[in-house]
């Protein structure tokens, strides 16, 4: 059977890449603009997919890429920037220049015509601007001949101890409307926060990992990294963050702890993406 191929846009440290690799797919092009994230991505995938780096298919700025020169692929994957749509951002959506990166995704779909796509964003996108932003996105995608299915999924429902609600959007280039995609059902929790900390933790499922606001008082509503373990206050570090996001223990974070936590806060939960992408790959 021919191996399914994919591209990894706004790739971060490679959560999508790892999930797709676990499902037997091959990455033929990736793009990430942040220098620190690129360093982590390369450290973990240069041996796994050497052609990605040897053939200059690890792009820095997708807005400057000639889309026609992207290798052919089956699935477009993108955890595209969430700031324009999140509570933490300014909620400007397409008025925010970062929001227009969605149109780069649409343009790649138009030029390359892959069989499917998987997008991930914050759940706030679903109701952003009273739902009009998502309606506009659906119109753009539908006009390109793709289906458009979406659902808010939680990382905690796919084996890892973290709430992390995220909006997943899946579509197929299916003129006959024969493909009926259903999002995966929840699976049992595989590890708890006690397993993460190797001690008795006050919470079974952890807070959503974030980028900012670390070390808020543990009883503060803004706290997300502080826990009581064996009757002591402890904070989530890189090792714990990797487990909460579903990365393997040997995943390399070759940057500072501060950068590492930022990268993990920006990443996708690997098992959730793995479950969704497995259904997409099986349908293809």
Query: Tens digits of per-residue pLDDT, 95-106?
Result: 554 556 888 999
Active-site residues, by number, are 82
pLDDT at position 175 over 90: no
Q: At residue 8, what are phi and psi to the nearest 5 degrees?
A: -120, 95
Q: At residue 24, what are phi and psi to the nearest 5 degrees?
A: 85, 10
pLDDT at position 191 over 70: yes
Q: Which residue has the tokens 């826990």?
A: 227
The reported pTM is 0.92
Structural domains of the chain, with CATH: 5-185+269-283 (3.40.50.150), 193-262 (no CATH)
- What is the mean pLDDT of the segment spanning 151-157? 98
Tell me the pLDDT tens digit for each residue of 238-263: 999 999 999 998 999 999 999 999 99
Specify burial of residue 195 (Cβ count, 10 A radius: 0-12, 13-18, 19+).
middle
Tokens of 8: 């990894």
State residue 213's pLDDT score: 79
Q: Quickly state the pLDDT bin for 174 (edges 50, 70, 90).
A: confident
- Provide the mean pLDDT of the chain: 91
SS3 letters across the chain: CCCCEEEEECCCCCHHHHHHHHCCCEEEEEECCCHHHHHHHHHHHCCCCHHHHHCCCEECCHHHCCHHHCCCCCEEEECCCCCCCCCCCCCCHHHCCCCCHHHHHHHHHHHHCCCEEEEEEEHHHHHHHHHHHHHHHHHHHHCCCECCEEEEEEHHHECCCECCEEEEEEEEECCCCCCCCCCCCCECCCCCHHHHHCCCECCCCECCCCCCCCCCCCCCCCCCCEEEECCEEEECCHHHHHHHHCCCCCCCCCCCHHHHHHHHHHCCCHHHHHHHHHHHHHHC
Tell me the pLDDT tens digit for each residue of 194-219: 999 999 999 999 999 998 878 899 99
State residue 128's pLDDT score: 82
State residue 97's pLDDT score: 42
pLDDT at position 109 over 90: yes
């Amino acid at each position: 059977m021919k191996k399914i191929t994919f591209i990894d846009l706004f790739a971060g440290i490679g959560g999508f890449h790892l999930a797709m690799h676990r499902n037997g797919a091959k990455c033929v092009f990736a793009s990430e603009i942040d220098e620190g994230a690129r360093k982590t991505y390369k450290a973990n995938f240069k041996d796994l997919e050497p052609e990605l780096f040897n053939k200059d298919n690890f792009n820095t700025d997708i807005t400057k890429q000639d889309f026609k020169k992207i290798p052919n692929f089956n699935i477009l994957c993108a955890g595209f920037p969430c700031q324009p749509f999140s509570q933490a951002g300014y909620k400007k959506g397409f008025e925010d220049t970062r929001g227009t990166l969605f149109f780069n995704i649409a343009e790649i779909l138009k030029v390359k015509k892959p069989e499917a796509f998987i997008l991930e964003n914050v759940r706030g996108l679903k109701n952003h601007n009273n739902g009009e932003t998502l309606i506009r996105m659906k119109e753009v995608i539908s006009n390109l001949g793709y289906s458009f299915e979406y659902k808010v999924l939680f990382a905690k429902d796919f084996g890892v101890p973290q709430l992390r609600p995220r909006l997943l959007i899946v579509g197929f280039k299916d003129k006959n409307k024969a493909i009926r995609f259903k999002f995966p059902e929840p699976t049992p929790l595989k590890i708890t926060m006690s397993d993460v900390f190797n001690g008795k933790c006050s919470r079974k499922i952890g807070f959503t990992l974030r980028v900012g606001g670390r070390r808020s008082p543990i009883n503060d509503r803004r706290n997300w990294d502080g826990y009581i373990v064996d009757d002591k206050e402890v904070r989530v570090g890189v090792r714990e963050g990797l487990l909460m996001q579903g990365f393997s223990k040997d995943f390399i974070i070759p940057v500072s702890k501060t950068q590492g936590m930022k990268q993990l806060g920006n990443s996708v939960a690997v098992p959730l993406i793995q479950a969704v992408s497995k259904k997409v790959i099986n349908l293809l």
